[in-house]
Amino acid sequence: MTRPTLRRRSWRRARPGRPAAGALWRAAIGATALAARSSPPVLAAVLLLALLSGALPIAAAWLTKLVLDRIVDHQPGTADLIGLALGLAGASLIVAVLPHPLRYLHAELGRRIARTAQDQLYRAVNDFTGLARFEDPRFLDRLQLAQQAGAGTPEQLVAGTANLLRGVAVVSGFLGSLVTISPTMAVAVSLGAVPVLLAELWLSRRRAETALQVSPYDRREFFYRNLLTSLQAAKEIRLFGIGDFLRDRMRTERTRSDRARRSMDRREALSQTLLGLLGAGIAGAGLIWVVQAAGAGRLTIGDVPMFVAALAAVQGGLAGLVTDVTTTHHNLLLFTHYQAVVNTGPDLPAPGRPVVAPPLRTGIELDDVWFRYDDDQPWVLRGVTLTVRHGEALALVGANGAGKSTLVKLLCRFYDPTRGAIRWDGVDLRDIPATELRRRIGATFQDYMHYDLTGAENIGLGDLSTLPERARIENAARLAGIHDTLRNLPHGYDTLLSRTFMSGEENDTVRVGMTLSGGQWQRLALARAFLRNRCDLLILDEPSAGLDPDAEAEIHDAMREHRAGRTTLLITHRLGAVRDADLIVVLRDGRVAETGRHADLLAADTHYARMFVRQASGYREPEPALPQATE
């Protein structure tokens, strides 16, 4: 049966630089909802204060006009005039003070929104069942933009909306004032804003495209930057003297992104200079007209500062509105990437009719499994048919690149077979929810993790429910032969296993952590897998590669004890470790080349026998050379 597969092709087809108008509306609704959900009272306060800060300058300008006209009409000293002056002073006071609480509330809102957005984004990333998306550069580019947009866009959208509210209040108030003085001037100033708006919208689209264009350069720059400061890479970088080489590479990436950004900045500078000239021309003409009109007595003295304030406010306000609209437009374009990631859906098809994974009774069956990592990649598994029987220990051996670890990844359902099926007691793995399946599997991978956490946490991550149960963690550590090491650390199991972080910073008992040797880390990874002592399938991919001979023997004894009655899959190049396996499977170029027990395979002329003899000969002393017979 052909099963649906979700390939990474959907990301290839996407043209993320040019989302449709509908996507922008969805982004606007999504960003607003995110902002509203993060903190409704702070959001309401920000919008209210923004509206107030827009209305107050208009009131101040009108009060100024009225005061001046009263003075020119020779009515100084009246209670009316003093009231106006007091009103003007009060409005000016609030105008001066208001920006500070507004700035604080903005910052607070930004923090709350960023936290909600980050949480939502990483929840979506955690929900990806498989690994393919983490290997897709296009998806990773988008994820990078999503991280930027998620943290900034909703907040900028709120800031833009607040500015927009203030701008609309200022512009409409002053435009009304301008109309009372000169309707022609009001129309000319309004029309002057149209080319600005169009040009800014065009620029905003180009800015979003530039952001996407530079994303791969930024990611690679980040990669080189990380290498240059990483403890893990520091040894090789120093020994091979490759620091300057990596720094040059980092600079090249920065040069590329700078070039793209510079070209964008030039475009922006040119168009904004032209637009600035247009605005200045309109303002200059207006000033000449108002001075002439006041000189000829067609306008009052109070009208002159009112006109100047209105012209500046309308022009500035319209320019600000245009900037807010285009900034919001740009942010929404970026936010479409955030939404694309958050709403991307499953990377592997979810089961149509989910089946609860039963405890393994019969075994796991691979039925003509073909697999390649992508449509344009070579086949890695080519028709593997194999049964891992319940309670048996199966050993998978074969040359580098034969496909052993790939097969393990398919068993854990990090990928689905391209063709064929894997069945758990007859149930297709694709019908079992991935979290259910993985609850039944314990594993150490070839590229196991070192977590910069305490010893207990490093083991407890294997089964989070055991974190408060020190006894279970210690049992797993004993089985993996790491208990004494952890116990003797300065703070026992609570010692931080890291040289890049410190522990106790929150309660002033700062202490630097320790780190372990390669083999000790490997034992820790094994303890993590052993912690799942109720799992049905234990997968051990090169579990003893970093261990000394005594440790290896000790660990193999422990594994034998631990896997008793449990189904085990062991991958190793150390063939001495697989002698007692119930079944040895030799994988060659993605195919099952040989199967059998150790003794049977050794007795026949098999590839396994040749590998075993070659490896064993490395441990034997060469035969002493016989003395040459002399005539």
Ligand X SMILES: Nc1ncnc2c1ncn2[C@@H]1O[C@H](COP(=O)(O)OP(=O)(O)OP(=O)(O)O)[C@@H](O)[C@H]1O
The answer to whether residues 114 and 34 touch, using CB atoms and an 8 Å cutoff, is: no
Burial 457-484 (b: 16+ CB within 10 A, else e): bbbbebbeebeeeeebbbbbbbbbbbbe
Pairing of strands 502-503, 511-512: antiparallel
Nearer to ligand X, 455 or 590 (CB): 590
Q: Does 509 bind ligand X (CB under 6 A)?
A: no
Q: Does 404 bind ligand X (CB under 6 A)?
A: yes
Nearer to ligand X, 78 or 615 (CB): 615
Selected binder of ligand X within 190, 405, 485, 533 (CB under 6 A): 405
Nearer to ligand X, 104 or 134 (CB): 134
Selected binder of ligand X within 160, 317, 403, 442 (CB under 6 A): 403
The single-letter code of the amino acid at 54 is G
Residues 6 or more apart in contact with residue 45 via CB below 8 angstroms: 105
Q: Does 380 bind ligand X (CB under 6 A)?
A: yes
Distance CA 2, CA 420 (A): 8
Selected binder of ligand X within 130, 167, 317, 398 (CB under 6 A): 398
Distance CA 204, CA 330 (A): 5
Phi, psi of 44 (to 5 degrees): -65, -40
How many residues touch ligand X under the rule CB under 6 A: the total is: 13
Nearer to ligand X, 185 or 429 (CB): 429
Q: Single out the segment in contact with ligand X by CB under 6 A; choices: 121-129, 155-163, 373-381, 591-599.
A: 373-381
The answer to whether residues 310 and 178 touch, using CB atoms and an 8 Å cutoff, is: yes
- Token pair for 488: 């003797």
- The DSSP code sequence of 286-307 is HHHHHHHHHHTTSS-TTHHHHH
Residues 6 or more apart in contact with residue 518 via CB below 8 angstroms: 546
Least separation in angstroms between residue 543's CB and ligand X is 13
Nearer to ligand X, 46 or 381 (CB): 381
Distance CA 189, CA 283 (A): 8
Selected binder of ligand X within 73, 80, 119, 135 (CB under 6 A): 135
Q: Does 406 bind ligand X (CB under 6 A)?
A: yes
- Token pair for 186: 């009001």
Pairing of strands 393-397, 583-588: parallel
Q: Does 446 bind ligand X (CB under 6 A)?
A: yes
Nearer to ligand X, 373 or 451 (CB): 373
Nearer to ligand X, 401 or 549 (CB): 401
Q: Single out the segment in contact with ligand X by CB under 6 A; choices: 97-105, 404-412, 507-515, 553-561.
A: 404-412
- Token pair for 428: 């297709």
Least separation in angstroms between residue 403's CB and ligand X is 5
Selected binder of ligand X within 377, 509, 617, 628 (CB under 6 A): 377
Q: Does 376 bind ligand X (CB under 6 A)?
A: no
Q: Single out the segment in contact with ligand X by CB under 6 A; choices: 260-268, 403-411, 458-466, 593-601.
A: 403-411
Least separation in angstroms between residue 400's CB and ligand X is 3
Q: Does 400 bind ligand X (CB under 6 A)?
A: yes
Q: Does 373 bind ligand X (CB under 6 A)?
A: yes
Q: Does 417 bind ligand X (CB under 6 A)?
A: no
The answer to whether residues 499 and 513 touch, using CB atoms and an 8 Å cutoff, is: yes
- The DSSP code sequence of 44-74 is HHHHHHHHHHHHHHHHHHHHHHHHHHHHHTT
Selected binder of ligand X within 43, 313, 402, 525 (CB under 6 A): 402
CA-closest candidate to residue 170, choices 57, 63, 324: 57
Q: Single out the segment in contact with ligand X by CB under 6 A; choices: 21-29, 268-276, 397-405, 481-489.
A: 397-405
Strands, E, within 349-432: which ranges? 363-371, 381-389, 393-397, 419-424, 427-428
The number of angstroms, rounded, from the C-alpha of 435 to the middle of its chain's C-alpha atoms is 21
Task: Indicate the SS3 state at residue 597.
Answer: coil
Q: Does 401 bind ligand X (CB under 6 A)?
A: yes
Nearer to ligand X, 252 or 446 (CB): 446
Q: Does 607 bind ligand X (CB under 6 A)?
A: no
Nearer to ligand X, 406 or 567 (CB): 406
Q: Single out the segment in contact with ligand X by CB under 6 A; choices: 199-207, 399-407, 487-495, 612-620.
A: 399-407
- Residue ranges in 343-428 assigned as alpha helix (H): 404-411
Q: Does 615 bind ligand X (CB under 6 A)?
A: no
Nearer to ligand X, 157 or 581 (CB): 581
Nearer to ligand X, 326 or 406 (CB): 406
**Interface residue list for ligand X (CB under 6 A):** 135, 373, 377, 380, 398, 400-406, 446
